[in-house]
Structure 1
Amino acid sequence: MGMSYRRYLSGERIYGCSTCKTHLAAIHSMISRAFNGQHGRAYLFDTVVNITEGEPCERAMTTGHHTVRDIYCCKCGSTLGWKYDKAYEQSQKYKEGKFILERRLLVDVQ
């Protein structure tokens, strides 16, 4: 396995890891602020960078049954949220391939 390079984002507002400030997502890729995570408020993003993904697992959530993967900062390994792999209810299909980042675990880096 070769070296991995972190991506640096530019734009109006950049969210980063609260532990090490590694860039994660830009405000323009945010889909919704109306989500809840394990630690309170959370945001749904279309695109997130500089993460590693855990193994898929089945979870029963308030919006139904989903297959998700926990996501971690690629630099410090902090847990950041999760990625939706599969939604079993038709009304939740829009979440597939999208990312939840928990607000408490984020910091504005720009």
Structure 2
Amino acid sequence: MGRLFLINLEGKMYCCRHCHTHLALSDDIVSKSFQCRHGKAYLFSNVVNMTVGKKEDRMMMTGLHTVADIFCVGCGSSIGWTYEMAHEKSQKYKEGKSVLERVKISGPEGSSYWTNHQVQVAGISDLDDIV
């Protein structure tokens, strides 16, 4: 497979729930009002340490979009999707941005803990509007 080079983020970040690979900074959240099959999801302007799957057209709640699933480079887990193209003019702001499913990431309002550099605090609950 070769050597894996990861981007390490500084500050308040979201990580893969399974392997704790850094994925995104809280400052890069565009919206917290997204929904997915597993519950809440967040739209980020920048996500790192991910691989992108094949593009496909999907009918979503806001219309037809060309999207690609994204996966953690550390463990290969599915973590969300990225918007390649929005077919409706009102949805163009999503292009080039990525959605991380909250159940698949760790963060202040995520699954099990918040990561700030190397500090991990167990038991943080659903703190939706903190960031």
TM over 0.5: yes
Considering only aligned residues, what root-mean-square deviation do their CA atoms show, in Å?
A: 1.2
Q: 1:2-41 residue pairs with structure 2 within 5 A?
A: 3-11=3-11, 13-41=12-40
Structure exhibiting the larger radius of gyration computed from Cα positions: 2
List 4+ stretches of structure 1 deviating above 4 A. none
Post-superposition offset of 1:2: 6.1
Post-superposition offset of 1:45: 0.1
Structure 1 length as normaliser, TM-score? 0.95
Give SS of 2:58's match.
strand
> Partner of 1:80 in structure 2?
79
Post-superposition offset of 1:38: 2.0
> Partner of 2:128 in structure 1?
none
Percent identical among aligned pairs is 49
Partners of 2:60 and 2:26 in 1: CA distance: 25
> Partner of 1:68 in structure 2?
67
Instruction: Mark the runs of 5 or more structure 1 residues left unpaired by the alignment.
Output: none
Q: Which one has more relative contact order, counting CA pairs under 8 Å at least 6 apart?
A: 1
How many residues align? The count is 109
Structure 2 length as normaliser, TM-score? 0.80
